[in-house]
Amino acid sequence: MTAARVTRRWVLVAAGTAAVVGAAAITLPASGSDEPAEALRGRVLAGSPPHVGYAESTGRLGLPEIPALERVTALFTGVTQLRAYVAGPDRWRVDELTPAGERDTYRRDGREYLWDFGANQLTTVTGETPVRLPRAADLVPSELAHRLVGLTRADPVTSLEPRRVAGWSAAGFRVTPADPDTTVGRIDVWCDPASGLPLRVEVAARSDDRPLLFTEFLEVALTTPDDRTLTPAVPPGAGSVTAEAADLAGALRQLDAAEPPARLAGRERVPLGSGLPGVGVYGAGVAGFVLVPASRGIADRVIDGAASAGGVTVEVPVGRAARLSTPLLSVVARGGIRRGGVLLAGTVAPEVLEQAVRELPGRRA
Amino acid sequence: MIGVELRLMLRRRRVWLCWVLLCALPTLVAILLATTRLAPPPGRGGAFLSAVVSNGQIFPAAALALVIPIFLPITVAIVAGDTVAGEASAGTLRYLLVRPVGRVRLLWAKLISVAAFVLLAVLFVTLVSYVVGVLAFGFGPDASIGGAGAIPSLSGVELTPLDVVGRTAATVGYLALCMLALGAVGLFFSTLTDSPLAATLGVLAFVVASAALQPLDAAAAIEPYLPTSHWLAWIDLYRDPILWTNLREGVLVQLGYVVIAFGAAWANFSTKDVTT
């Protein structure tokens, strides 16, 4: 009798546990969409409607820490929590949330504002540069999808099974880059078929079918953020500084880098609007790469650290060079010479960057 | 019964010792920071620690971030592990149940006393660290929006004193719920054994296992349901606007643990042979 009572009670607890766990785990099935993949791509390219959402991006690129670029590599090697308030292409705010604070980027009135709680400082950035380092705001699904789909608009697209993302029934499409030299195997995008708002993006390499970079909204609403939310604030005691985006050009000018070659590894240099000394972008779409001048210190530290990070030495006519490659991103650094340090990076096969670094002219002082 | 358990809890020296030690750690950190002025660099160290030197009113948040990972769970494990097993090891459980006291009622009273302990623990840490923080670091620069007493949110927007009180109260409530979930697990473990130490160690093993699984990619599917996953979600209360996503999930997960662990304690204790 007692044993039966014990069993009955435990069965009740087990059933309650199953109900609680089941309620948490159940996700509603996603409903299909008749929209062709090409039409969905067109909607994403047309731009996103105003929205407010919370997203998480996960990078598994396995990149080693690159000196002076730790914050950038962290975006592609870990989880980044993001909160996006988007009113339009020129009025938005994206917060990078960390357990110890947050770093917020605002864009409004043709300017960018960067709030860093840890540094207790608001930086107003005026002007723009044609090339910049990746930042957390680039990983918001709507932004990343728009950027990647824009780079691959000529590549073939196919439909994917719909899936539920952030409670929305999302229609999916896959872009398969055709260029044999790119490391990008597929770009999968799921978006709201009605508004075209991208909800989830996955990027996988040719050599590995698992997504190495994926970002998705966990919560999103098609609402326009209010003006107060899009206005950066400077609390008392916090610093407020202004910087010109062109300061980057000034910093690069200090390196006295040579004019980038017109052609590298069989790829033409893409003309950049306003010049950044020594910087060159080569190739198109996801099969392109960038050449950035680096101080000798940074280039040498990357080369020295390459061996411990699984990198390999690259034979070059002048100086010394090393290659770091992951399934999705390749990086080559050349150093060992004064005023000739460079970093090359891109989603291209490592052999392409090796060829490019060998073609670079030396610059001994 | 509940009143008796609460009085019993408040009369225990070990309970007061737990509270004192919980308040002592942030106090020590405040003294060290105030004397050396060596706050962790931005983005490093405990949450809010780099900011407290310029505004002492943020110190309660920094203090809670300090005690949450280890010290608070240890005290909850000690108190919750002792609830039923302590009575059994002292030989009082049998006599307690001889009186017309239902077992479910006894368990319920024990859970309420654990809830009171965790609520007071979080509240004491908050109040003591506010006083210590203001004494050590001052009220911060004069606020232009909220007047004296305002603090900056993580997003840079000023939080008025009223805002701060509301958000701090929500923080205390949230953390008390997180610790109550742990307390409920401790209550269940306490019904499994006559040894309070074994129950306490069981709770600590539960916390360590959860914390170890949390960063594993292979455990990503169960990570949102681990008890420790949402312990730091209260930090989102200090953002502007408040980010409710993780807090909402945290509340549901912790309530789930309270219900399941209390149910398991009831299933085990209701028919247990009590011999001591």
What residue spans define the domains of chain A?
37-242, 255-359
Asked if pLDDT for residue B146 goes beyond 60, the answer is no
Q: What residues in B contact A237, CB-CB < 8 Å?
A: 54-55, 140-141, 152
pLDDT of residue B150: 76
Across A155-159, A223-227, B33-37, B72-76, least confident range: B33-37
Q: Do B152 and A219 touch (CB under 8 A)?
A: no
Residue ranges of B 26-65 with Cβ closer than 8 A to chain A: 41-51, 54-55
Q: What residues in B contact A2, CB-CB < 8 Å?
A: 271
Does residue A200 or residue A74 have the better pLDDT? A200
Q: Do B156 and A122 touch (CB under 8 A)?
A: yes
Does residue A226 or residue A308 have the better pLDDT? A226
pLDDT of residue A25: 75
Neighbours of A61 (CB within 10 A): 17
Once rounded to an integer, what is the mean pLDDT over residues B105-117?
93
Q: What residues in A contact B264, CB-CB < 8 Å?
A: 13
Q: Do A16 and B55 touch (CB under 8 A)?
A: no
Report residue A89's pLDDT band, with 50, 70 and 90 as the boundaries.
Answer: very high
Once rounded to an integer, what is the mean pLDDT over residues B56-63?
89
Q: Which of A117, A119, A229 sits opposite B241 (nearest CB)?
A: A229
Across A339-348, B75-84, B165-174, least confident range: A339-348
Angle, in degrees to the nearest 10, between helices B103-137 and B71-82: 150
- CA distance, residue B163 to nearest chain A CA (Å): 15
Rounded distance, CA A32 to CA A30, Å?
A: 6
What is the extent of the structural domain holding B127? 2-21+56-269
Asked if pLDDT for residue B185 goes beyond 90, the answer is yes
Instruction: Look up residue B228 and give its two tokens.
Output: 């420790």
Average pLDDT of every residue of chain B: 88
Once rounded to an integer, what is the mean pLDDT over residues B102-120?
92
Q: Which of A117, A122, A229 sits opposite B154 (nearest CB)?
A: A117
Report residue B144's pLDDT band, with 50, 70 and 90 as the boundaries.
Answer: very low
- CA distance, residue A318 to nearest chain B CA (Å): 40
Q: Is residue B275 part of a domain?
A: no
**DSSP state for residue A105 in the 8-state scheme:** E
Across A171-185, B38-52, B76-90, B96-110, least confident range: B38-52
pLDDT of residue B160: 85
Once rounded to an integer, what is the mean pLDDT over residues A112-136?
85
Q: What are phi and psi of A43, to 5 degrees?
A: -65, -40
Q: What residues in A contact B229, CB-CB < 8 Å?
A: none
Does residue A222 or residue B51 have the better pLDDT? A222
Residues found in chain B: 276
Q: Which of B156, B266, B271 sits opposite A238 (nearest CB)?
A: B156
- Please give the C-alpha separations between residue A39 and each of A42, A44, A163, A264, B189, in angstroms, as whole numbers: 5, 9, 18, 35, 58
Total number of domains constituting chain B: 1
- Interface of chain A against chain B, CB under 8 Å? 2, 5-6, 9-10, 12-13, 16-17, 20-21, 24, 54, 83, 95, 97-102, 104, 115-120, 122, 218-219, 229, 232-238
Once rounded to an integer, what is the mean pLDDT over residues A179-194?
94
- CA distance, residue A219 to nearest chain B CA (Å): 8
Give the three-state DSSP class for B261.
Answer: helix
Asked if pLDDT for residue A48 goes beyond 70, the answer is yes
Q: What residues in A contact B260, CB-CB < 8 Å?
A: 13, 16-17, 20
Q: Give per-residue pLDDT as tens, A213-263.
A: 999 999 999 999 999 999 998 887 788 888 876 555 666 666 677 788 889
Q: Do B156 and A2 touch (CB under 8 A)?
A: no
Q: Is residue B115 part of a domain?
A: yes
Rounded distance, CA A327 to CA A264, Å?
A: 22
Asked if pLDDT for residue A290 goes beyond 50, the answer is yes
Once rounded to an integer, what is the mean pLDDT over residues B44-49?
70
Q: Do A9 and B241 touch (CB under 8 A)?
A: no
Q: Do A232 and B156 touch (CB under 8 A)?
A: yes
Interface residue of B48, B66, B142, B154 to substitute, partner A, most A CBs within 10 Å:
B154
pLDDT of residue B129: 94
Instruction: Look up residue A180 and give its two tokens.
Output: 């044999």
Give the three-state DSSP class for B132.
Answer: helix
Across A180-189, B7-16, B75-84, B135-144, least confident range: B135-144
Once rounded to an integer, what is the mean pLDDT over residues B120-140?
91
The answer to whether B263 contacts chain A (CB < 8 Å) is: yes
Nearest residue in A to B241, CA atom: A229
Q: Do A238 and B50 touch (CB under 8 A)?
A: no
The answer to whether B265 contacts chain A (CB < 8 Å) is: no
Q: Do B156 and A117 touch (CB under 8 A)?
A: yes
Report residue A364's pLDDT band, with 50, 70 and 90 as the boundaries.
Answer: very low
ipTM score of complex: 0.82
Q: What residues in B contact A12, CB-CB < 8 Å?
A: 263, 267
Asked if pLDDT for residue A176 goes beyond 90, the answer is yes
- Please give the C-alpha separations between residue B143 and each of A59, A101, A230, A236, in angstroms, as whole numbers: 40, 20, 21, 6
The answer to whether B91 contacts chain A (CB < 8 Å) is: no
Q: Is residue B82 part of a domain?
A: yes
Does residue B250 or residue A68 have the better pLDDT? B250
Average pLDDT of every residue of chain A: 87
Strand-pair partners of A216: A56, A200
Q: In what order do the strands lie in the sheet with A320-325?
A: A263-264, A267-270, A280-282, A289-293, A342-346, A330-335, A320-325, A312-314
Residue ranges of B 124-153 with Cβ closer than 8 A to chain A: 140-144, 150, 152
CATH of span A37-242 = 2.50.20.10
The answer to whether B267 contacts chain A (CB < 8 Å) is: yes
